[in-house]
Structure 1
């Protein structure tokens, strides 16, 4: 990890909390990314360092936006033969200039283990006694973090107005038709192929790709395109393969390099859906950041190049945007 010695407070201070630039049109603030609608059916996506979980923003994490963008870049390149992606260019380590797609109102979540801690995860529902989840039937006697017989698709709705994702079954999708039956078949086929590639590459790097979510849109030609991000520590779970078997046998949580670290920190202290989430200490956020950086380095084989300590990330991004989109600056 190529970072300069810096105090925790300075690292937090240099986080990218927002990426609103008044020169650009079509601004929209999402939980993590700030986006812009540009002429010529283009979208600009800037990954901030905001950290979301349990349907809310918990704080900021150093280097997070850069890790997400550069990790997704690696995976978009690795899977371009399976499905086209939305990328046009990368003006900055935190920024993607992308095709503007007609987004489909579903998130396709592929899972290969019985795990999780959120309302849409498998384990909390299974632990409460439910045995039919997302239309899939599970046997009695399974335990947390157990591998499934095969990867399964557990879709959720993706409200275009920014509402909460909700579990949905294949039968409901075919009945209500948020997408056409042909689109649903293509979504399932492509998602399983992307996931298989992800698991294969992850295994070669000593990692287990546990589960992930994909978002898709359709371009002007009607082509299915994968968008947003792919196989990042925000959208996926990654466990260290070398210690999984021993920790599973001992009933311990796997060693993870993903968002679950922070979810578990929160759920040990409160019910995040009913109680206020306590402030997260800077040292915990730094430890979390290191996990994201370690995942990037282990997956890509590249050394992470942290931002220069004396240059605010926001200023660097603004210069890059002025170069990439001079018509607005």
Structure 2
């Protein structure tokens, strides 16, 4: 899909849903979740959040996130079962209802990042012992780690807190046996992701996984997997040369829209935000489409005629959801 088609459909976005007779509705950052007795109807909207609030609506983003997740779930189902029961619409996953494990399993393949919790920022401050692993002196920013590492955080509605394996066991977040299983599976998923991404000309830098237990107590991968919202990707072909020259890697960039808001308002405190420039919204949509096509090898296709919520309602009805 070219940029002019996106621009013509700039207002074709799913901001929220009001689907009838699907159960209690819970609103997340990006998804509207309808809760039923034994399953969840997860509808990905086009909401784009930053600064703890919605800053824009990006055409086709919800569909892309859903379809990338679905593609990756299929690539990894031999490692662990996932929650997907059905995908009756490009924006919808019907998922098995699970008891959520209160941890986000963050896996990193490179020493990188600029946030307060990032490996590089803490390494620069002199930290070498990260609880579950130790890093040697003399590492450079964006250097590949010998092996992927786990930096789990608590899963909370407020702020996620980094935790060590020792704290996880001592605070009885999960049993030791389950922690071992979670660790092994998270690393296996990440290695599979890196292997497949490399064939697509990409580096899977870091990501996060969420898990739950189904009715039978079986460990299940839930939420999303290896999407551009839960993961960071760099371009593979230019990485080494840029690393050797102390340059930042080329990467899938969503930051430009965030920076525009920082320059044009106080996004944390202003009661209302200015509208994001249409050309920037179209550019971000185009980048989501490009990474979808690069990862899956499939051309992005969508219905540009039927209103999105009408299409979802029809597809759910046709699939007896």
Instruction: Give distance in 2, aligned partners of 1:56 and 1:146.
Output: 32
Alignment match, 2:290: 294
1:205 corresponding residue in structure 2: 200
The 3-state SS of whatever aligns with 1:6 is helix
Aligned to 2:19: 21
Q: For the residues of structure 1 that align with 2:261 and 2:162, how far apart are their CA atoms?
A: 21
Q: Deviations over 1:174-210 (max 9, x none)?
A: 1101111111111000011111111111111111111
Q: What is the Cα deviation at residue 166 of structure 1?
A: 1.5
Aligned residue among 65, 79, 82 for 1:82 = 79
Aligned counterpart, 1:12: 10
Whole-Å Cα distance in 2 between the matches of residues 166 and 177 of structure 1?
A: 15
The number of aligned residues is 319
Please give the alpha-carbon distance, in whole angstroms, between the structure 2 residues aligned to 1:258 and 1:122.
20
Unaligned runs of 5+ in 1: none
Larger mean CA deviation between 42-51 and 239-248 belongs to 239-248
The alpha carbon displacement at 1:5 in A equals 3.5
From 169, 174, 177, the counterpart of 2:169 = 174
> Is residue 235 of structure 2 the alignment partner of residue 240 of structure 1?
yes
| 2:281 maps to 1:282 | no
Query: 1:56-78 deviations in whole A, cap 9, x for unaligned?
Result: 33221111111111011111101
Quote how far apart the aligned CAs of 1:243 are.
Answer: 1.0
Cα offset, 1:306, TM superposition: 3.1
Q: Which SS does the other structure have where 1:316 is aligned?
A: helix
The residue number in structure 2 matching 1:183 is 178
1:262 and 1:147, CA in 2 relative to 1: closer, same or farther beyond 3 A?
A: farther
Q: CA RMSD in A?
A: 2.6
CA–CA distance in 2 between the matches of 1:102 and 1:37? 13
Alpha-carbon shift at residue 319 of structure 1 (Å): 1.6
Residues 98, 213 of structure 2: 8 Å contact kept = yes
